Structure 1
Amino acid sequence: MPVPDVMFCAQQIHVPPELPNIMKQFTKAAIRTQPRDILQWSYGYFSALSKGEPLPVKDRVEMQVATQKNDTGLTPGLLKVLHKQLSKKETLSLQELQTKWKNLCLPVEQLHYLLRLDHFGDEVPWIKFFALGCSALCGSLMSSMKQACEILTEDPEGGAARIPYEAFAFLYSYLAGLDEEIPEAETESFLSALKEQVARKDYMVGVADFSGNRRD
């Protein structure tokens, strides 16, 4: 079949005026996030963009996944991305969590491991899963709480990393309750003392308020 005798020129190709900026922002986001699978991540990026949802984009470039503790694939930056995407719902479907996890190119084995820690079913309370994510990153209870404060805080970067006492108490109690070596009475005593300590600070807990009471 002969090739159609058609000539194209730049004037015949319509380029949407917003396309250059979209591609510029996409490229910058990919560089900051450094996804393992650029195609899978791109699907998640443009899907979220089309729905007006928070994008699967890190605030800044992190160290390579292979250098993270335990080589889980999960990083503080990725957990913060998941929090931005999923925290608006107190409880989310397992399918939605799996989709967001997959779009960040995180290993499915890690997701299954975290879900088994509390025997989650088809519905997952986000704040509990978030707590387990902090624990997976840090190991010890106090280090996990420090990580949680740094992700949840509305303080400027490098500040006190404060969060409301009630939020801190819930996360601490939940993680401590999963550790058979921490007596319930010890948890209650620690939280009671901390509550008195931060009463003069509008019940806001910062990293410095508990960092001297590590239970590693």
Structure 2
Amino acid sequence: MPLPDTMFCAQQIKIPPDLPDILKQFTKAAIRTQPHDVLQWAAAYFSALSKGEPLPVKERIEMPFATETTDAGLTPGFLKILHKQFSPQGTVNVATLQEKWKDLCLPEEQLNTLLQLDNFGEEVEWMKFLALGCSVLGKSLLSSMKHACEIITMDPEGGAASVPFETFSFLYSYLASIDGEIPEEKTEAFLHGIKQQADQQNGMVLLRNFVTQPSSTT
């Protein structure tokens, strides 16, 4: 039996008052993030929105990466999203990390490679994984630390990208140990110089200070 024709008028169509703004913010987020799989990313976006969780959204579009192949992988913007999602927890279950990684449409093989760099079990210490992610982005130890500071800093974009010395020291020492070719005494000497500068800045390491620090551990 065919359905009867239904007539609608403007008065009958009710548009939820929040819908236009939700769609507007979603569109802006998609443009900034440039996900490879829009549908997969959209499902993660609205799931996080409904749960009040950090959204899988970049703070700004990363133009240098937008022209690369679609499977270009991890970028500073994507790593910053993951940091916002996981840093409050301290540790993260590997299965959850895999889920969030997939939500960002990042290649699974890249995640597996990162996890193999350390003897992680079912739980991953987030700051260690962050450091490993930065090592993929940087071409040297110091450039990796530059990425780390820019991701974890509370300073506004374009600021000093300051981070607590304890955090800087932990990340730098960890990456130096993973590298395996940097003598421990050189790591200690470098961090000693950084600490002297940090002591003059209320215990904070400023990005502009350490990137010019002379060291053979770069």
Distance 2:2 2:156 in 1: 65
**TM-score normalised by L of structure 1:** 0.93
Q: Which residue of 2 aligns with 1:153?
A: 153
Q: Which residue of 2 aligns with 1:97?
A: 97
Q: Which residue of 1 aligns with 2:4?
A: 4
- Note closer, same or farther for the CA distance 1:63–1:167 as it changes in structure 2 (3 Å cut): same
- Give the drift of 1:179: 1.0
- Give the drift of 1:72: 4.3
- Note closer, same or farther for the CA distance 1:155–1:5 as it changes in structure 2 (3 Å cut): closer
**TM-score normalised by L of structure 2:** 0.93
Could you list the per-position Cα deviations for residues 123-168 of structure 1 after superposition, in whole angstroms to 9, with x for gaps in the alignment? 0111110111111011310000111111111222222111000000
Q: Which residue of 2 aligns with 1:120?
A: 120
Distance 2:193 2:63 in 1: 37
Could you list the per-position Cα deviations for residues 99-120 of structure 1 after superposition, in whole angstroms to 9, with x for gaps in the alignment? 1111111011110000000121
Could you list the per-position Cα deviations for residues 166-205 of structure 1 after superposition, in whole angstroms to 9, with x for gaps in the alignment? 0000000000011111011211121122212221111110
Distance 1:46 1:84 in 2: 17
Q: Which residue of 2 aligns with 1:197?
A: 197
Could you list the per-position Cα deviations for residues 22-81 of structure 1 after superposition, in whole angstroms to 9, with x for gaps in the alignment? 00100010011110000010011001000000101111111254766xx74111111111
Q: Which residue of 1 aligns with 2:134?
A: 134
Distance 2:53 2:96 in 1: 13
RMSD of aligned alpha carbons: 1.8
Deviates more, 1:195-204 or 1:88-97: 195-204
**Preserved CA contact (<8 Å) 1:149 1:207:** yes
- Note closer, same or farther for the CA distance 1:146–1:58 as it changes in structure 2 (3 Å cut): same
Q: Secondary structure at the match of 1:201?
A: coil
| 2:81 is equivalent to residue 74 of structure 1 | no
Q: Which runs of 5+ in 2 are unaligned?
A: none
Flag the structure with higher helix content.
Answer: 1
Q: Which runs of 5+ in 1 are unaligned?
A: none
Could you list the per-position Cα deviations for residues 4-30 of structure 1 after superposition, in whole angstroms to 9, with x for gaps in the alignment? 143222322322111111001000100
Distance 1:131 1:67 in 2: 26
The one-letter code of the counterpart of 2:208 is A
Distance 1:53 1:25 in 2: 16
- Note closer, same or farther for the CA distance 1:67–1:7 as it changes in structure 2 (3 Å cut): closer
Q: Secondary structure at the match of 2:11?
A: helix
Of all paired residues, the percent bearing the same amino acid is: 64
Distance 1:2 1:66 in 2: 49
Q: How many residues align?
A: 215
The one-letter code of the counterpart of 1:82 is L
